[in-house]
Amino acid sequence: MVHYTCDMCGKPLLADEDTRYVVKIEVHAAYDPMEITDEDLAKDQNGEIQDLLDQMADMDAEKLEEQVYKSFRFDLCPSCQAKYLQDPLFRSVRKRIPFGDN
């Protein structure tokens, strides 16, 4: 049997008992439609692509991928699901953390 645990509070969640909630988050780069100009068409696209490939050659593949797309999946108990829906970006927590003047 698969065992689930609430990813916020750690409470064990059994598949055949109380409601279990799944939160899926996808973060991806947003691309706005571009207007292609004659200047864009006149550029050496092959050269630009090669430059990008050269820049990426020494970069970590996982970090490159995270710049484009990353997904998360969390299991929550009913109590934590209610808290999550009230403040999904945890803004209230950030307001309570005092930051010193640097």
Give pLDDT, residue 75. Answer: 95
Structure tokens at 41: 């068409």
- Of 56, 71, 61, 57, which is closest to residue 25 (Cα–Cα)? 71
pLDDT in tens, 35-84: 888 888 888 888 888 988 888 888 888 888 888 899 999 999 999 999 99
CA-based R_g, the chain, Å: 22
Task: Break the chain into its structural domains and give their ranges.
Answer: 1-29+68-84
